[in-house]
Chain A
Amino acid sequence: MLAAAAFSAACGAPPESAPSAVVTSDPESVCLGDGFATPIVLDASDSAPRLTLVPAPPDPDAPPLRYRWTLSGSRWVLVEGVLDGERLVVAIEGDRPLHVELSVSDAEGGTATTDHTVAVTLPDPASGRCTGSDP
């Protein structure tokens, strides 16, 4: 039942300009129970100081973006890089997915955060073997 009374409501001004945060992982999945065997590259280099519709060349004078990685889920070890770097390599126990949160900050204080999950591949029911993580 919808009454006739209505009024308009404003939702505020557009948000301040902020960077865009992008995570890619290679591979995107490892076998269940990987046991820290597969190096996983987590890369934030597709992040940008400003979200645009078309590719824009980076401003050589702009201060670099700052990164902060937060990892949860599967136990993990850092193979290469640091948790505030643009790129890092980790290995995971693989009893469960690895949940990755990347926070990107620009020099003006703008911050963007994104999530990414490195999945685990279940064993094939017939063979009992993992048939399919990324190469």
Chain B
Amino acid sequence: MRVLLCTLIVLAPAAASAQAGSALGEPSADAALANAVTARPGDTGAIARNPGALGDVDRPVLSLTAHAADLDLWFARTDEGGHEMGRTVAGVGGGLVGRLPGPDWLRRVRLGVGVHLPTAHVLRLSAPPREDRPTLVAYGDRAARTGATAALGVELPFGLGLGVGLSLTPFLRTSTVVGYDATRGDTPDDNVVIDVENELLIESAAMAGLRFAPIAEVALGLAWRGQQDVRAKGPNDTRAGAVVVDAEVDFFELFAPEEVAAGLYVEPVGGLRLSGDVVWARWSRFRTIHDRRPSPRFEDVVAVRVGVEWTPTRFYRVRAGWGFEPSPVPEQTGVSSYVDGDRHVIGLGAGVDLEELDVARLRVDLHARWHLVERRRHTKDPASLPDAHADLPGRQIDNRGYPGFATGGGLGQIGVTVTFPLGAREEHP
């Protein structure tokens, strides 16, 4: 069962940047509302969630976000003490939205760009040495994700907005050739030659969305977001005398499944805004780090999210949100031991608009968010486990999840977004 051990890490540049649809890098307002935002009026968060809402942005805005999360998941084999699989996930991001210049018809179009960088790595893909090791699904390498998104939204008559976007993710093309040059050094160790070439390329995924607001107090939203995945791929050859082995590295990480989100937004009374989303996620296309379909396969899931925002005064607002995200992971009866469970997402937040106070032209939003992952048990089926030592008589079991395991835990996150209006509000053309 031993497979290639490789962790590819590209060190990040130490630059501040912005957010673009990362799993944990949304603007604070979106995070506090548990991402029930598909039908809400546009903001920089719409760049990655629903570009159809960008048409609502009535002046150029720049937002900067910073967030940090403490992951606290555990894995415990049946009747054994558990071990923690915790770590810290942090990142910085932001977005910029503005009208296109020119005649009125062109000024109906908004352009938005956003970027997100984790604080640790530009790209991280970890391939465990054994496929039966406990493996995080939602909070593994995909939680610390680099991404950039560009989107266009157009404001149409009758309260209709349409938008399209493109999300970019890194793609590592790597080539490793191990050779042997008998004249190179004094010892066999010195004669080994290893050539490594890496290229960090860009891969893209499309998205599209619409927002229909027949009146200001009611809106519907619909968004489609294409699958985002990351690969590290290339030859991994050994050439030493008569030993010639041509192999290939092919690592795969599903950063975000394809999603279709439908949302409703209402403002029943002045200052109180409610929003809700139903999101279908195509997790059945999940593949392992070695680009193979897991057995058993993951399942598509439907998540529900609701959020409420209350603005008691013009300069202050509070938010809360709840979401339920079913786990796409089936019972782990076979080789793999994916650590995941149904999770409840709870968000809280508040914002202060200093422009309304005539203090400064900026808005500050804070959020705290919790992911509560339900406790879950799995039981291995010996018939689904491979014979660990085919050379020995009988059937040998060495699976690290045998005879079964339980998982649970959660994540706590805090974040802040500072939004800078870059001009005066403009009437719609």
Contact = CB atoms under 8 A, between A and B. Distances in A.
Interface in A90-134: 95-97, 99, 115, 117-122, 124, 130-134
B200 A52 contact: no
Interface stretch (B57-65, B157-165, B388-396): B388-396
Nearest to B133: A115
Given A1-B203, A2-B203, A11-B8, A134 B392 contact: yes
Interface in B137-172: 168, 171-172
A96 B199 contact: no
Given A11-B10, A115-B129, A3 B202 contact: yes
A26 B393 CA distance: 15
Contacts of B4: none
Interface in A36-75: 52-54, 72-73
Secondary structure of the B side of the interface? strand
Interface stretch (B247-255, B290-298, B305-313, B399-407): B399-407
B89 to A, nearest CB: 22
Contacts of A133: 392, 394
Interface string B199-232: 1111110000000000000000000000000000
Contacts of B188: 52-54
Contacts of B10: 9, 11
Contacts of B382: 122
A118 B172 CA distance: 37
B34 to A, nearest CB: 31
Contacts of B200: 6-9
B330 to A, nearest CB: 22
Nearest to B203: A2
A95 B400 contact: no
B113 to A, nearest CB: 15
A29 B198 contact: no
Contact of B9 (A11, A52, A54, A132): A11
Contacts of A73: 77, 80, 400
A65 B357 CA distance: 68
Interface in A2-43: 2-3, 5-12, 28-29, 32
Given A3-B204, A11-B10, A97 B398 contact: yes
A119 B200 CA distance: 41
Contacts of B426: none
B397 A122 contact: yes
A131 B403 CA distance: 20
Interface of B: 8-11, 77, 80, 122, 129-130, 168, 171-172, 188-189, 192, 196-204, 382, 388-389, 392-400, 402-403
Closest 6 CB pairs of A and B: A132-B394, A132-B393, A119-B398, A119-B396, A117-B398, A121-B394
Given A1-B204, A2-B203, A119-B389, 12 more contacts: A3-B168, A6-B200, A11-B198, A28-B389, A28-B392, A29-B388, A29-B398, A72-B80, A119-B396, A122-B397, A124-B394, A131-B393
12 contacts: A5-B201, A6-B199, A6-B202, A8-B197, A9-B200, A11-B196, A29-B392, A53-B189, A53-B192, A73-B77, A73-B80, A96-B77
